[in-house]
Amino acid sequence: MSQTDPFRATRALFDLPDGLVYLDGNSLGALPKSVGRRVADVISGEWGRSLIGAWNSAGWVDLPRRVGDRVGRLIGAPAGTVTMGDTLSIKVYQALAAALDLKPDRRVILSDTGNFPTDLYMAEGLIASLGRGHELRVVEPEAVEAAIDESVAAVMLTQVDYRTGRLHDMAALTARSHAAGALTIWDLAHSAGALPVDVSGAGADFAVGCTYKYLNGGPGAPAFIFVAPHLAANVRPALSGWFGHDAPFAFEPAYRPAAGVERMRVGTPPILALAALDAALDVWDGIDMGTVRARSIALGELFVREVRTGVPDLELASPADPAARGSQVSFRHTQGYAVMQALIAEGVIGDYRAPDIMRFGFTPLYLGEEEVRRGAAVLVDILRTGRWDTPDFRRRNRVT
């Protein structure tokens, strides 16, 4: 990792507390410096000066499309195939409802135990609403491929497992799904901005994701949805809101879907949040995802090596092969919660997922080799000294 690498420049674009080792960008990305100024401009300059007129004069109406195109570039989606808004849960619902509608003779939604719970919950809610006997079939990640058969309407997967980081092969599973006549819905929450993604190349039908992890859009930032162009015009929007109408300001009594992916817009777009995200996306200008991936793997491998050199018996929960995982590394520890509290108390921020997972995310845009070494060293020291296990520490951190 030379001194002339592109990430020296991107690191300077982020505002991070001095001395913090932030290994949780896979949960909430760090703050790009440009966000505060942009949001302040939108509030005082656009809203405050132009008021209602800003919907046109400041281009608010088109912001979901413009931001969608910027996200699209990072996931291999052509211009005009991604739009923004709502939350990932809502976008999962829209994609799944559309997919089931396109496959009226099939009743199975196939997913896996590595999917993020809200995706499964939204499927449950949709199935109950439809009341037509759909089944949510959840298998182990390794069993997905074999479970794709001609009963399956939609294969709904998160590409990168939020706990272990295990990475699905999007192209292969999409091809397998299509061969069985099923549609695919890819949740890219832990993929977008984390590794090269090519929804077009993979032939994905739908893709959704959040933007507050690797895309650094801020807490609760708007979600994205991609619909393959050949499907978009045939999709019936279950959440048929006025901003997805072909003519929102004609105030027609009946719904007519907009052309293409714009029909996946629902209500009035969240302008402050979209502006924050739009500013946050500036840090990706000129960045090649292949370069990000190479550095992400180097940082993850460095972390694993340093930790296992110090604590050889700590169990890696992630695939050992970096090509088989996303941009995170997870370890198992029966007292993972307490260990993570001790780490956080010493300025190394990862997170914990029940029952025993300690997660560490690698975000090359603002995380360097020195911080990764330091994070690993603190983890090793905590585990060797057992200082997460003193009565005083446990009391102060409410570890039970």
User: 152 to 191, contacts with its own copies by CB under 8 A?
Assistant: none
Minimum distance between the CB of residue 390 and its own copies, rounded to whole angstroms? 22
Number of Cβ atoms within 10 Å of the Cβ of 230: 9
The residues in 203-222 that bind its own copies, with binding defined as CB under 8 A, are: 210, 212, 218-222
DSSP 85-110: ES-HHHHHHHHHHHHHHH-TT--EEE
Please indicate whether residue 116 is annotated as part of the active site. Answer: yes
Minimal distance in Å, beta carbon 319 to its own copies? 20
The least distance separating its own copies from the CB of residue 366, rounded to whole angstroms, comes to 11
Q: Does 35 bind its own copies (CB under 8 A)?
A: yes
Q: According to CB under 8 A, which one of 102, 130, 231, 345 is a site residue for its own copies?
A: 130
Per the annotation, the verdict on 213 as an active-site residue is yes
Q: Which one of the spans 122-130, 291-299, 321-329, 362-370 is the region binding its own copies (CB under 8 A)? A: 122-130
Nearest to 277 by CA among 227, 235, 225, 216: 216
CB of 392 closer than 8 Å to CB of 326: no
Is 187 considered catalytic here? Answer: yes
Give the one residue of 3, 4, 131, 230 binding its own copies; rule: CB under 8 A.
Answer: 131
CB of 208 or CB of 307, closer to its own copies:
208
Rule CB under 8 A: say whether 324 interacts with its own copies. no
- Residue at token pair 């695919």: 184
Distance CA 26, CA 352 (A): 12
Tell me if 60 is assigned to a ligand binding site. Answer: no
Selecting among 86, 187, 205, 351, the annotated active-site residue is 187
According to the annotation, is 47 in a ligand binding site?
A: no
DSSP secondary structure of 39-69:
HHIIIIIIIHHHGGGHHHHT-GGGHHHHHHH
Kindly name the residue from 11, 293, 325, 359 that is annotated as catalytic. Answer: 359
Residue 129, sorted as left (phi over 0), alpha (psi -120 to 50) or beta, turns out to be alpha
Number of H helices, E strands in the chain: 16, 15
Q: Contacting its own copies (CB under 8 A), which of 2, 4, 132, 146?
A: 132
392 is catalytic: no
Assess 114 for contact with its own copies (CB under 8 A): no
Q: Which tokens hold the place of 309?
A: 């050199």
Q: What is the DSSP letter of 159?
A: S
**With binding defined as CB under 8 A, does residue 314 bind its own copies?**
no
Which span (118-126, 226-234, 294-302, 320-328) binds its own copies, by CB under 8 A? Answer: 118-126
Q: Which of 19, 354, 398, 400 lies at the binding interface for its own copies (CB under 8 A)?
A: 354
Per the rule left: phi > 0, alpha: psi between -120 and 50, beta: everything else, 59 is left
Interface with its own copies, residue 74, by CB under 8 A? no
Structure-block tokens of residue 259: 């052309």
Residue 168 annotated in ligand binding: no
What are residue 167's phi and psi, to 5 degrees? -105, 125
Q: Is 78 in the site for its own copies (CB under 8 A)?
A: no
Of 220-259, binders to its own copies (CB under 8 A) are 220-223, 236-243, 245, 250-255
Helix (H) or strand (E) holding 126: helix 117-130
Distance of CA 194 to the CA centre of its chain: 9
The interface with its own copies within residues 266-285 (CB under 8 A) comprises 266-274, 276
Token code pair at residue 384: 């060797």
Cβ distance to its own copies smaller for residue 196 or 347: 347
Catalytic residue among 11, 70, 213, 265: 213
* Binding status of residue 339 toward its own copies by CB under 8 A: no
Q: Is residue 60 within the footprint of its own copies (CB under 8 A)?
A: yes
Phi-psi region of 196 (alpha: psi -120 to 50; beta: other; left: phi over 0): beta
> CA-CA distance, 66 to 221, in Å (whole number)?
15
Token pair in block for residue 129: 């609403």
- For residue 268, say whether it is annotated as part of any ligand binding site: yes
**Near its own copies by CB under 8 A: residue from 2, 105, 128, 320:** 128
Asked if 13 contacts 34 with a C-beta cutoff of 8 angstroms, the reply is yes
The string of DSSP codes covering 289-332 is HHHHHHHHHHHHHHHHHHHHHHSTTPEE-S-SSGGGB-SEEEEE
From the list 14, 206, 212, 352, the catalytic residue is 212
* Cβ closest to its own copies, residue 120 vs residue 202: 120
Stretch that binds its own copies, among 51-59, 292-300, 313-321, 325-333 (CB under 8 A): 51-59
Residues classed as catalytic = 116, 187, 212-213, 359
Residue ranges of the binding site for pyridoxal 5'-phosphate:
88-89, 116-119, 158, 187, 190, 212, 242, 268
